[in-house]
Amino acid sequence: MSRIPSKIAAVCFVSVLVIVLASSRGTLVFESLASAFLASGIVYFASAKLVSDRLQKADGLIAEIQDTGPDPLFEAERGDEIDQLMERINSVNDSVKDNLSTLRRMESYRKDFLGDISHELKTPIFAVRGFAETLIDGAVDDPEVRISFLEKIIQNADRLGSLAEDLNAITSIETGELKMEMTPFNIGSTVKDVVSQLEPMAAGENVKLSFKIGPVERPVFGDPVRIHQVIRNLAENAIKYTGSGGFTEIVVRQIEASSVRVSVIDSGIGISPENIVRITERFFRVERSRARGLGGTGLGLAIVKHILAAHDQKLKVESSVGVGSTFAFDLTFASASE
């Protein structure tokens, strides 16, 4: 039974009964009660139609806004329809405040992101333009300068291509468009393949690149292509920031019965504690000037973070300035059914 119409009808019943009894003076009590019941019945059905139906519709609309599904006012255990509607409105108000706060944070993040992209794009674009203008102004006639500048133009074009690829990758991962292809695979083989690919780079930087794979009971479970990307990214960063005469080592060891840990260890410049918490932010660089000279898009560790999150894992970082860094993550073993 609707509570608001019931309350209004009860008030009407008492009021009519008092008025009839007071004015009739000789009328039978039965007739007074009949009049009061009739009046209260009319008021009940009228208020149910004019008040309760509208309150129920209002509650339904608020439920749709709140996206909580059907929760009729009349199913509540306490309070009347107005009390319940106010509770719903308060709940929606809290949700709206939370959503507005989230939108403000996203807007701030969007502005920072667009500013970072603009900055990252300007550097190679201005470089290409500068080299091209210099060639047009006459440097093209000097064979050595011509070859050198054309090589630099190609390098900056490659950098723009890498930036576009990384932006597409991180956007696809964040929006859920890029799905992880989870399957059992051999983590040792993946590490060996990464080392084989990066050996020329390490040799060019005069960095000793090695790997150590401990006894691993069985295949791990994950997306082999994306995990390969994670390990390669971490190893490339290690080589870039290690410096001539240093080392980078990839270590795989079983840490418990159900998982292994992959660690990329280097003897590089290290990272200060205040920067460790920020290294997976888009475009964040520990040493911006040096990082741009070494290449890269500034999106690598952000991509790593998202790939590992899709595997229910986190990037673990330990570092000491001037000593080196260790980047690590865990993977679980594949079960017999996978």
pLDDT digits (tens, 9 = 90+) for 108-149: 666 666 666 776 677 788 888 888 988 888 888 888 888 888
Q: Is the pLDDT of residue 10 over 90?
A: no
Q: Is the pLDDT of residue 186 over 70?
A: yes
Statement to judge: residues 163 and 211 lie in one domain: no
Question: 91 lies in a domain?
Answer: no
Residue type, 318: E
**Secondary structure (H, E, C), 290-325:** HHHHHCCCCCHHHHHHHHHHHCCCCCEEEEECCCEE
Question: 279 lies in a domain?
Answer: yes
Question: 103 lies in a domain?
Answer: no
Phi-psi category of 335—alpha, beta or left, where left has phi over 0 and alpha has psi -120 to 50?
beta
The residue range of the domain holding 262 is: 183-332
CA distance linking residue 223 with residue 59, whole number of Å = 46
Residue type, 297: T
CA distance linking residue 121 with residue 163, whole number of Å = 8
Statement to judge: residues 226 and 142 lie in one domain: no
The secondary structure of 50-77 as a DSSP string is IIIHHHHHHHHHHHHHHT-----GGG-S
Residue type, 226: R
Three-state DSSP at 264 gives strand
Q: Tens digits of per-residue pLDDT, 80-92?
A: 666 666 777 777 7
Q: What is the structure's pLDDT at 76?
A: 46
Statement to judge: residues 283 and 321 lie in one domain: yes
Q: Is the pLDDT of residue 215 over 80?
A: yes
Statement to judge: residues 133 and 50 lie in one domain: no
> Which of 252, 261, 250 has its CA nearest to residue 208?
250
Statement to judge: residues 127 and 168 lie in one domain: yes
Statement to judge: residues 198 and 325 lie in one domain: yes
Q: What is the structure's pLDDT at 67?
A: 62
Statement to judge: residues 217 and 328 lie in one domain: yes
Quickly state the pLDDT bin for 38 (edges 50, 70, 90): low
Q: What is the structure's pLDDT at 199?
A: 93
Q: Is the pLDDT of residue 206 over 90?
A: yes
Q: In the chain, which residue ranges form alpha helices assigned H by DSSP?
A: 3-24, 29-47, 53-66, 81-136, 143-175, 187-204, 224-242, 273-276, 288-294, 300-310
| DSSP single-letter state for residue 263 | E
End-to-end CA distance of the chain: 55
Quickly state the pLDDT bin for 262 (edges 50, 70, 90): very high
Q: What is the structure's pLDDT at 191?
A: 95
Q: Is the pLDDT of residue 39 over 50?
A: yes
Statement to judge: residues 26 and 123 lie in one domain: no
Q: Which residue among 175, 210, 230 closes a domain?
A: 175
For the record, the structure tokens of 89 come out as: 């409105």
Q: Which residue among 123, 144, 175 closes a domain?
A: 175
> Which of 193, 189, 194 has its CA nearest to residue 216?
189
Q: Which residue among 145, 175, 205 closes a domain?
A: 175
Question: 237 lies in a domain?
Answer: yes
Q: What is the structure's pLDDT at 70?
A: 47
Q: Is the pLDDT of residue 295 over 70?
A: no
Q: What's the sign of the alpha-carbon dihedral 95, 96, 99, 101? A: negative
Q: What is the structure's pLDDT at 166?
A: 74
Statement to judge: residues 201 and 64 lie in one domain: no
Tokens 């006894």 belong to residue: 215
Domain count, the chain: 3
Statement to judge: residues 226 and 120 lie in one domain: no
For the full predicted model, state whether its pTM sits above 0.75: no
Question: 94 lies in a domain?
Answer: no
Q: What is the structure's pLDDT at 109?
A: 61
